[in-house]
A and B are shown apart, each in its own frame.
Chain A
Amino acid sequence: MSASAEATVLITHEVGLHARPSVKFTKLAKSFAAEVEVAVVANGPWFDAKSIVKVMAAKAPKGTVLHIRARGDGAEEAVGALVDLVQRDFDEDRDHARSA
């Protein structure tokens, strides 16, 4: 029996799911064995969350409700971790504080 999970999260980061956040997002997605997909509208199209090319192509600006779904081992953890990353604004503020 394979696990599955799905969630939505609001992108609050100023410029959306852009270059640097998408690097972090796909890296985190790749750390899970589960198949993970994202969409910017509820009924798709769905994009491979582990492909930065596809995630960037989704062009999700600030205010987008991001749909995340996963299937397979650790599906729930994967969705939880990705939602968490988006809610933390991709840790971008922390990075700025550090480089300042």
Chain B
Amino acid sequence: MRIEGIPASAGYAEGPLFDLDGPPVAYRGKASTTEEKAALKSAIDKAVSRLTALAETADGEAAGILEFHIAMLQDDALSVPAFAAIGSGEPADAAWRQALDAEIAGYEASDQDYFQARAADLRDIRDQVLRALSEDGEAAAPPGAILYGTDIAPTRFLETDWSRGGGIALKAGSTASHVAMLARSRGVPMVVGLGASADSPVGVALLDAEHGGIVLSPSPAEVEAFRQSSSAFAARQGKAQTFLAQPAITRAGTVVRVQVNIADPSDVDGIDIASCDGVGLMRTEFLFGKVLPDEETQYRAYRKVLEWAGGKPVTIRTVDAGGDKPLPGFTVAETNPFLGLRGIRLSLTRPDVFRVQIRALLRAAVHGNLKVMFPMIATAEEYALAAALFAEEQTGLASRGVAHKLPPLGIMVEVPSVAIAPEAFADVAFLSIGSNDLTQYVMAAARDNAAVAHLNSVRHPAVLRLIASVAAFGREKGIPVSLCGDSGGDPAAIPALLEAGLRDLSVAPAQLAMAKAAIADVSV
């Protein structure tokens, strides 16, 4: 039976289904005491990072309690007996339970009410780690499995070993979710919007993430047809690889700059800088993760990418939180987050957080060819305010004698107001079209909603007309214009984007070869 969905990351996967929505599985024992100890250690770490995330958003009393739980978990004295028990042959879950139960008994025996009451805290701490341990058992999807469920958490994606194939099939989900972005950059096949299915996911399935669909309980004929499509796709990809090391040139001889989009500094480790023209978009939200990073952490991350790029440009986007990217302790809860406090709007309301990022960027700028852009700019005033903060922090660093440099400051073109009336932005250093958001705002179709996914097309004439007009504005004023949305790496959209006048695209690293191959086919 084939179920149709929407392709979120192209590719094919044949493998056993793994039910993401299944009930939590009990802890599975490990083969050796070393692995048991590692499982306990990672469960404690997981519990700590979860509690830390909670503490970020909690206030007063609740934050105090969470801090106490975190401090207890981080104290080796709590886990020493458990690790000793593992050493003498106990599995991690039993060892932890015994160690904590002994501690709990000590509190229960207290003649002080207050200390008796702490037994409940210890039970909570015990259960947090037990939960993390059993999820560790649950996470053991067989190698090459197709993860099938309603939705998938980014952490789940990151914890999965994709080295032996596999894919993601989601009943809901979105092509613009964080996981979809990660899947595209890692080349993991992914389909979303499959809808609810009565079948419980068992056995082998065929995931066609090129066209968007999954075949459950396939017949031998279906398997054969699938394998043919899969090898044809692999052959096309293989052919595309020959374009990877070449500059991107259209059939008519037009040179197109192709840069990459990255999210984490480690993303560049697998990319040969010679294969691209730089970084067209470095997202910084992931860096912010669960905890707001300090200046030094950010500086090191930016510097790493700049040094990797050599003299090639690296465009870093200031934190674009909000919308579908909430950050505990930073973003605010809103009924309509895509139209609320996100991107530069949020950064300008939180100068305490924004200034830290600005200082890190100014300091990193001396290590390469840095450009900085602001997300979600709607008015020229927002750009002026953000640029003024850069100037202020620059003065501060200069007076303290800290090495720094003011990078060219540009803006994302994703709010329709900018695309419609770009003349207000004649003094920005560059324009970068964020086609994901521009499309969703022009088409009034949320990009995290599978039900309106068919409306969300960059190739709609209204969106293309705006892109063409921004490209023309840039040519007229001598302002570089690029595009860094997902459509830049979509072979189906590339001809239209070049026809609209764009000559500078930034794509997910996994799409680099296919994008260059697609460009070579265009006669612009």
Binding site for B on A (CB under 8 A): 15-16, 18-20, 22-23, 26-27, 48, 51-54, 56-57, 59, 61, 95, 99
Tell whether, in the assembled complex, residue B112 and residue A16 are in contact, meaning their CB atoms are under 8 Å apart. yes
List residues of chain B with CB within 8 A of the CB of A52.
68, 71-72, 75
Instruction: Decide if B75 touches A51 in the complex (CB within 8 Å).
Output: yes
B67 is contacted by which of A18, A20, A48 (Cβ under 8 Å)?
A: A20
A contacts with B: majority SS: helix
Q: Which of B64, B71, B112, B118 has the most CB of A within 10 A?
A: B71
Complex Cα–Cα for A26 and B75 (A): 10
The chain B residue with its CB closest to the CB of A14 is B114
Query: Which residue of chain B has the shortest Cβ distance to A27 in the bound complex?
Result: B71
Known: A59-B115, A61-B112, A61-B114. A20 touches B68 (CB 8 A): yes
Task: With a 10 A CB-CB cut-off, give which of A22, A51, A56 has the most chain B CB atoms.
Answer: A56
- Per-residue CB contact flags for chain B residues 113-129 toward chain A (1 = under 8 Å, else 0) read 01100100100000000
How far is B113's CA from A15's CA once the two chains are assembled, in angstroms? 9
Partner of B71, one of A23, A48, A99: A23
Within 8 A of A (CB), among B64-107: 64-65, 67-68, 71-72, 75-78, 103, 106
Contact B77 A19, beta carbon cutoff 8 Å: no
- A48 and B77 in contact, given A56-B118, A57-B106, A99-B59 (Cβ under 8 angstroms): yes
Q: Which residues of B contact A (CB under 8 A)?
A: 59-61, 64-65, 67-68, 71-72, 75-78, 103, 106, 110, 112, 114-115, 118, 121
A-B contact pairs, 27 of them (CB 8 A): A18-B114, A18-B115, A18-B118, A19-B64, A22-B68, A22-B71, A23-B67, A26-B75, A27-B71, A51-B75, A51-B76, A52-B68, A52-B71, A52-B72, A52-B75, A53-B75, A53-B77, A53-B103, A54-B77, A56-B115, A56-B118, A57-B103, A57-B106, A59-B112, A61-B112, A95-B64, A99-B61
Cross-chain contact A16 with B114 (CB below 8 angstroms): yes
Chain B residues lying within 8 Å of A51, measured Cβ to Cβ, are: 75-77
User: Who on chain A is nearest to B69 by CB?
Assistant: A19
Does B68 lie within 8 Å of A23, measured CB to CB? yes
Inter-chain contacts of A20 with B (CB < 8 A): 64-65, 67-68
What CA separation (Å) do A57 and B115 show in the bound complex? 9
Please indicate the chain A residues that have their CB under 8 angstroms from the CB of B61 in the complex.
99
Bound together, the chains give a CA A51 to CA B72 distance in angstroms of 8
Min CB distance B369 to A, Å, is: 41
- B44–chain A nearest beta-carbon distance, Å: 13
A21 to B231, CA, bound (A): 64
Top-8 shortest CB links A-B: A99-B60, A53-B77, A19-B68, A51-B77, A15-B114, A20-B64, A53-B75, A53-B78
Closest to B122 in A: A56
B110, closest chain A residue (CB) = A59
| Chain A residues within an 8 Å CB radius of B121 | 19
- Distance to closest chain A CB from B451 (angstroms): 43
Pick from A15, A16, A23, A54 the residue with the most CB of B within 10 Å.
A23
Name the residue on A nearest B115 (C-beta): A59
Instruction: Please indicate the chain B residues that have their CB under 8 angstroms from the CB of A95 in the complex.
Output: 60, 64
B417 to chain A, nearest CB (A): 41
A59, B68: Cα distance in complex, Å: 15
Instruction: Tell me how far the C-beta of B487 lies from the nearest C-beta in chain A, rounded to whole angstroms.
Output: 48
Query: Does A19 contact B112, Cβ atoms closer than 8 Å?
Result: no
Additional A-B contacts beyond A20-B67, A59-B110, A95-B60 (10; CB < 8 A): A16-B114, A18-B114, A20-B65, A22-B68, A23-B68, A27-B71, A48-B77, A54-B77, A56-B72, A59-B115
Residues of chain A with a CB closer than 8 A to B60's CB: 95, 99
What residue of chain A has the Cβ atom nearest to residue B114's Cβ?
A15
